[in-house]
Structures are given as C-alpha cells and as structure tokens.
Chain A
Amino acid sequence: MPQNNDTADATYRSRIEKLREAMKEFGLTAVVIEPGPAMVYLTGVHWGRSERTFALVVPLKGDLGFVLPGFEEKRARELIHPGAEIRAWQEDESPYQLVARILKDRGIVSGRVGMDPSVRFFIYDGVRKLAPQLDYVSAQQVLKSAGVDTTSSTSKRK
C-alpha cells in the first residue's frame, strides 16, 4: 500500500476489476477520471483539482495510467498504488497528449471512451481534439454499476 493511501491493495484491485466488468458490459474501451469521489473510491487517491490536469485512464486491458504535473510527481507517487503507469507532463507540455497516447498505447483507436461525468470541459476538449475518432460518452452508469457514487460533490480547489 502506498505511503499516503488508506485503500488496501486488495480493495483497490477488486474495485478496478469490478469497474472493468462494468465497462465490458456497457461497451467502453476506457474510462477517464478526474480527482473526486470516483478517483478516491477506485484508487484511494485524494488530489485537489486545479487548472493543472491530473487524470486517471482505466483501459479495459493493460495498466492504468495516471497523467499528472511533473513537479508534483514525487508527492503523487506517495499516493498511487504500484502497477499503474505514471506519465508526467511539464508545464509547457500538453497533458491531453499524454492521455491520448495512453489510449493509443493500450490499443484504443476506436470505440467508446467513458468520461467521468464530472470531468471538466477543458480536459475533454483537449483529449477529443487529439483523438477525434473516439466516441466520448458519459461513464455515469458504468461507474454506478461499479459501486461509485458520482452524485456527491467533487472536491474543489482553487
């Protein structure tokens, strides 16, 4: 278990497994999640939202991918369970590019990608421009089916 994460490893893995079962059922190839209740429930990672993109990509197959700011990498690693791939972006680089690359590297070049309903427009807009062939749909039902309550308010930070 990472240093600053209260979710046991087995819990984390079983929740991701359950999410993937739901993704299969609903026909989603990946789910993109921002910090908030869904990220906390699934991974135990608490992170404040800011203008700097911090995103989790859960592909149907392959390693989870976290996209996060380079200068926060050390602090973030204390929170993230081992096994997930971490891709850091520097201040003048595009985080959307990293999200798009994770999708591509996992073989996701078509089909439906679920968005955490609370994902902010600028992240969705940035990713869809780089991967316009994908169909972006709400992941609300999938998350609900996997046991995530997405209706509670998400954490906000200036």
Chain B
Amino acid sequence: MTDGIQPIRAEERQARIEKARRLMRENRMDAVLMQGGASAFYFTGSRSNEVALMFSRAALGSWSGKVDLASKVLKDQGVSAGRLGVEERVRFELVDRIGKELPALEFVSGDPVTAGCRMTKSPAELALMQRANDITIACYRAALATLREGMTQHELSATIAVAYQALGVEGDAMAIFGKYTAFPHGSVQPQKLREGDLVLIDDGCSVEGYQSDVTRTVIFGQPTQRQRDIWELERQAQDAALAAAKPGRTCESVDAAARKVITDYGLGPGYKVPGLPHRTGHGIGLDGHEWPYLVRGNKRLLEPGMCFSDEPTIAIYGEFGVRLEDCMYITEDGARTFTKQSPAIDQPFG
C-alpha cells in the first residue's frame, strides 16, 4: 500500500520557510530555534538532532549544525540581543546554554511560527495523511479478524504492529479489553478477551512522517443493550463534532457540540465520569497530537486545511468505555473524514 507515495517536494519546504519568515516578522522574532522533532523535519526535511535556526531576514538564511556553534552563529548574524522563538520541544539545557552565552537574547515561544505554519495542511500533506489513514484501516481489518477468546491485549497489539510491517509502514496500536476500555489510554493490568467484551484499538502509522490516528471499539460476541446504547451515544457525539467543524467556528465549539450530546444523555457534565473525561480532539500532522486542540477555552477559528481527530470517549469506570476516532480535515464546506466512520458496534468499518 505504499506505491506512488509522493514525498513533500523541496519547493513546498521552501514555501514553508517563507511563510515562517512572514510569521516571524509579524510576531517580532529574529529567528526560530529547533532541535530535532517534527518541526525541524517540517522545515528542513532532515531527521537529524542537530540544532536548526531559521532567521526572519531571508538574507540570513537558515542554519543547522552542532550545539556548540549555535550561539556563535546567532552572534555572527547579529541576533545576540534579539528575540529568539523556541520550538516547544527544545530542551531546557539548550536554552540554558545559549542564554548563558548570549545573556541579552530574549527567549519566547516559537509556536506562533512553527504551529502557525504546520496547522494548515497543503494538498500534498493531505494526500500523505489520506494514505496513512487508508493503511491503518487495512491493518485494523486484518488485526480484528484475529480476535479470539483468551487472547491478551498484548497479542492484539503485536498483531497490529506485524500487520503494519506487512503493509510497508511503521505503526502500532494499543489494545484494551473489557472494563479497561474505560481508561482512555488503557491499563497495564493483564487482560484476556472474553465473550461480551468490548475491544478498543487506537493509534496509527506514519507515511513520510505524517500520522494517522484511528480508534475502533467493537464487540466480541453479543453486545448487551447497555453496550449498544452507549456505543450509539458515542457515535452521535462523534457525528455532532463532525457537523460542528466548519470553517470560521471556534475549536472549542466542536468540543462543546460533542459534549452536549453526552451531557444531554445524563452523563458528565464537563469532564466528569461517567462521561467524556478529555477534550474531543487534537490537531494531527507530522505529530500524532499537535496544534490546535478541540478543547474548551480554545477560541481559534477553524480554517480549511486544518486536520483534527474526532474522538469523544465515553468512559464508565467499572463497566466499559467506548471511543470512535476518525480524523477529519476542514474544507470550505465543512469537515470530511479521512476514514469511513464505524457504522455499528459489530461493524468497525464503513
């Protein structure tokens, strides 16, 4: 499933740097500091852990190299007393070191530049994400066909990793069974699959660095009425978020739309369990979780090209949890999912 993948072209990376320079000027930054991670890869196309600098003045270009030289480069380029945007994952030790060498330099969050560029995706990026999502569905189809009584959650996880390998990509997933599905990130407690258990699988793979993230919750055997009802409620909450995700709306309004469905049913409110204990979704791209987030308090407006997970978990401790997660991208007309939503508790794939 990896035939015909088109990596990001050099021209596109150059355009990203130009946009970054515009955002640096708007945010009064003289340069942005990165070290490894998705942001550095986004701009440089390199996975190296060297220090990378992008200067706001095009004439100063970009630089990457050894940690020891970063301060000297900043000084030589006349930025020893300016404002340096720092990529969010840069470690304290690097900032501390440069700060000692250039005490007049001001360190500010580089997010307006790095996230500002990364959060809207180009057609080429959307195509890579589509491929990653398609591969994840193929992988899950294969893995869920292997469910059997007595299987452990680790066996199912391992099967998913092997399926990804066979499909030509790197990927993995957590698997959660039974009452532990109420924990959004599972439990280390040993679990053996039994008739009537819900099975939850969640995570994704990577294509040219772009991530997929898909969750399916499916019944093993016959569901109870309670399981059916909560599963249906989850699907309605997911649908509500999808319908709300229109350009010009706020990120928090998408979370509110999903949460309202769950609260109206009598669960929650807020993050209270039984209910939806976390935000409805996260941005996704080169990082599995990235800016912006579909969370209360986030007034950022949705724009075409933004990509999010839509995953309002319903957690009922002591019983079970249900999460359906499909990623969506915003278009002029509204949100579209990369993957077909799960139609029913015993039908993970649409």
A130 beta carbon closer than 8 Å to chain B: no
Chain A contacts of B95 at CB under 8 A?
Answer: 121, 124
Q: Residues of A contacting B287 with CB < 8 Å? A: 51, 158
Interface: B155 (CB within 8 A): no
Query: In the complex, what distance in Å separates the CA atom of A13 from the CA atom of B293?
Result: 38
Q: Once the chains are docked, how many angstroms separate the CA of A116 from the CA of B95?
A: 12
* Contact between chains at B295 and A138 (CB < 8 Å): no
Q: Is A4 an interface residue (CB 8 A)?
A: yes
Nearest-neighbor residue (CB-CB) of B283 within chain A? A51
Contacts of A116 in B (CB 8 A): 92
State whether B278 touches A50 (Cβ < 8 A): no
Q: Residue B93 contacts which of A74, A92, A138 (CB distance < 8 angstroms)?
A: A138
**Chain B contacts of A72 at CB under 8 A?**
184-185
Q: Report whether A117 and B91 are in contact in the complex, using a CB–CB cutoff of 8 Å.
A: yes
Which residue of chain B is the closest to A70 with respect to CB atoms?
A: B271
Partner of A158, one of B86, B108, B289, B315: B289
Q: CA–CA, A158 to B185, complex, Å?
A: 13
Query: How many Å lie between the Cα of A81 and that of B181 in the bound state?
Result: 25
**In whole Å, how far is B175's beta carbon from the nearest beta carbon of chain A?**
16
**At the interface, yes or no: B178 with Cβ under 8 Å from chain A?**
no
Total contacts A-B at CB 8 Å: 84
Say whether A26 faces chain B, with CB atoms less than 8 Å apart. no
User: Which residues of B are found within 8 Å of A121, using beta-carbon distances?
Assistant: 86-92, 95, 107, 109
A115 within 8 A of B: yes
**Chain A min CB distance to B51 (Å):** 13
**Are A75 and B296 in touch, CB under 8 angstroms?**
no
Given A91-B278, A121-B95, verify A74-B288 contact (CB < 8 Å). Answer: no
Q: Is B131 an interface residue (CB 8 A)?
A: no
Contact B183 A158 (CB under 8 A): no
Number of interface residues of A (CB under 8 A): 28
Given the complex of chains A and B, what is the CA–CA distance between A138 and B95 in angstroms?
10
Interface of chain B, main secondary structure: loop
Q: Does A1 contact B (CB under 8 A)?
A: no
Residue contact A125 to B109, C-beta cutoff 8 Å = yes
Alpha-carbon distance A71/B182, docked complex (angstroms): 11
Q: Name the A residues within 8 Å of B288 (CB-CB).
A: 158
CB-contact partner of A92 in B90, B96, B296, under 8 A:
B296
Q: CB-CB contacts of A78-107 with B at 8 A, as 1s and 0s?
A: 100000000000111000000000000000
CB-nearest residue of chain A relative to B204? A158
Among residues of A, the one whose C-beta sits closest to the C-beta of B291 is A51
Q: Which of B92, B111, B287, B288 has the most CB of A within 10 A?
A: B92
A140 CA to B277 CA in the complex, in Å? 36
* A interface list, Cβ under 8 A from B: 4, 50-51, 69-72, 74-75, 78, 90-92, 115-122, 124-125, 136-138, 140, 158
9 nearest A-B pairs in the assembled complex, by CB-CB distance? A117-B93, A71-B277, A158-B288, A92-B296, A92-B297, A122-B88, A119-B92, A91-B279, A115-B92
